[in-house]
Structure 1
Amino acid sequence: MTESLTASLAGAAGDIRLVVLDMAGTTVADGGLVERAFAAAAAELGVEPGSADHAQKLRYVRATMGESKISVFRHLFGDETRAQRANTAFEKAYGDLVADGLVAPVPGAREAIEELAGSGRTVVLTTGFARVTQDAVLAALGWRDLVPLTLCPADAGGRGRPFPDMVLAAFVATKAAQDVRQVAVVGDTSYDVLSGVRAGAGLVAGVRTGAHDDDAFHAAGATHVLDSVAALPALLRTGAR
């Protein structure tokens, strides 16, 4: 490898131009609303609260935080009709909880997004929820105009995390970066991390404000672990390496 090519690759990795941020657990604090909404979905499918089946399914929901919710319900309930019923009940229940004012920004998240944008970087918000739920959260927080692009799995061909599709869709749609190594991906689950790794992002960070811990982040291939997304601007100011 020539010196010029080596320098080019190093520059791409250190010069983050596009930042792809997860929502719930990363930039948005929802206080465990996913589990509450899951209870509604389980009830819709006749899963008895307190039963061994309910407990087993809840463990899976916790383990797969960050994955596309319809994918989770396909695994839990088998056929597509039942999965869609569960997903519809889940999204409605979560939306109702959002409407009740039960979501808030992670402390420092909005300020971090604004600082990243102010430094010339493009910020995209992604989620494993359906578009209707994502829009409800954005509206509740007054974030509709905070970033130029928000993505849910349906916006990237239907596959959510841990597939890299939403990261790559952000890369293609924004044209903010010339190389995937100029992309940073940040989330609170191993699925967020894995999606960033699979996309080839130059920086992939787990944050300790949500579902998964340091061991899960490192096992998925995180380049960094942060206490919060609020620490991201300072990391990028130091060169990200």
Structure 2
Amino acid sequence: MTTDKGTEKIALVVLDMAGTTVVDDGLVEQAFQAAAGALGVAAGSDEHQEMLAYVRATMGESKISVFRHLFGEEEKAQRANAAFEQAYHDLVDAGHCAALPGAAEAIAELRAQGRKVVLTTGFSRATQDRILAALGWQEIADLTLCPADAGRGRPFPDLALTALLRTETDSVRQVAVVGDTGYDMLTGTRAGASVVAGVLTGAHQAERLRADGATHVLASIAELPALLAGR
């Protein structure tokens, strides 16, 4: 189906979680502190600061991929990842997990418009499920995906393309990819999505989002339903 402007109707919306629909509030960095500490990296050291800068620059990427880059050896990467997940789970269990204002309502409106919604993440399935349970979001979307479900995480196109295949969407031009990081934008552009929207509620600012391919930059996810309705 096409609009009167010759653009295909968006049938599938692929949404990031932390920073886009879920408040991040520094939880990733706090959990990284635990991961680095488990590998003997002292907080405040030059090595720690360099690693933290890399974590910030690669927000949105699969966390195990980040730790493989930082620590090299697979055994060390797995230990760091396990420490990260435990720390993040503890923060979620302690109540440090909330939906961004208007996120649940935006998802409901997108589905009411007849669009399918898929929630994606760079976290593991265990962490993603922990967040969904804490928010009561187990049924909020048509599908949820983590990197292990798709083959590769961001910035590769796998998550968006897996969402397309699993929801039986007809064309990549019917897909919108939305996130708060440059890696989300790269995922969308590499997947061929016709809408690649960055939101300013998370890790990266408008300049980074546009540099990595954003077709739109929104103040928050709350603006997305109106944007898509107006196409």
**Coarse TM-score class (shorter-chain normalised):** over 0.9
Give the equivalent residue in structure 1 for 2:99.
105
Give the equivalent residue in structure 1 for 2:167.
174
Q: Provide the C-alpha distance between the structure 1 equivalents of 2:163 and 2:24, rounded to a whole number of angstroms.
A: 24
Give the equivalent residue in structure 1 for 2:150.
156
Shift of 1:10: 8.5
Pick one of 34, 39, 45 that aligns with 2:39: 45
Pick one of 25, 34, 44 that aligns with 2:28: 34
The gaps in structure 2 that reach 5 residues or longer are none
Deviations 1:130-165 (A, max 9, x none): 0000000000000001112100000012x1000000
On the 8 A contact 2:120/2:146 being kept in 1, the answer is: yes
Give the equivalent residue in structure 1 for 2:202.
210
Shift of 1:119: 0.8
On the 8 A contact 1:27/1:109 being kept in 2, the answer is: yes
Q: 1:12 to 1:67 in 2, by over 3 A?
A: farther
- Could you state the TM-score of these two structures normalised by the residue count of structure 2? 0.97
Shift of 1:14: 3.8
On the 8 A contact 1:189/1:210 being kept in 2, the answer is: yes
**Identity, % of aligned positions:** 65
On the 8 A contact 2:61/2:183 being kept in 1, the answer is: yes
The gaps in structure 1 that reach 5 residues or longer are 1-6
Q: Provide the C-alpha distance between the structure 2 equivalents of 1:165 and 1:199, rounded to a whole number of angstroms.
A: 8
Give 1:129's aligned amino acid.
F
Q: 1:55 to 1:139 in 2, by over 3 A?
A: same
Q: 1:174 to 1:11 in 2, by over 3 A?
A: farther
- Could you state the TM-score of these two structures normalised by the residue count of structure 1? 0.93
In the TM superposition, 1:1-241 aligns within 5 A as 13-157=7-151, 159-175=152-168, 177-239=169-231
The number of equivalent residue pairs is 231
On the 8 A contact 1:12/1:179 being kept in 2, the answer is: no
Give 1:167's aligned amino acid.
A
Q: Provide the C-alpha distance between the structure 2 equivalents of 1:145 and 1:32, rounded to a whole number of angstroms.
A: 26
SS at match of 1:144: coil
On the 8 A contact 1:12/1:182 being kept in 2, the answer is: no
Give 1:238's aligned amino acid.
G
Q: Provide the C-alpha distance between the structure 1 equivalents of 2:7 and 2:153, rounded to a whole number of angstroms.
A: 25
SS at match of 1:66: coil
Deviations 1:46-102 (A, max 9, x none): 001111001110011011100110110011000111001101110110011001110
| RMSD (Å) for aligned C-alpha atoms | 1.5
Q: Provide the C-alpha distance between the structure 1 equivalents of 2:7 and 2:56, rounded to a whole number of angstroms.
A: 32
On the 8 A contact 2:118/2:163 being kept in 1, the answer is: yes
Shift of 1:30: 2.5
Q: Provide the C-alpha distance between the structure 2 equivalents of 1:11 and 1:201, rounded to a whole number of angstroms.
A: 17
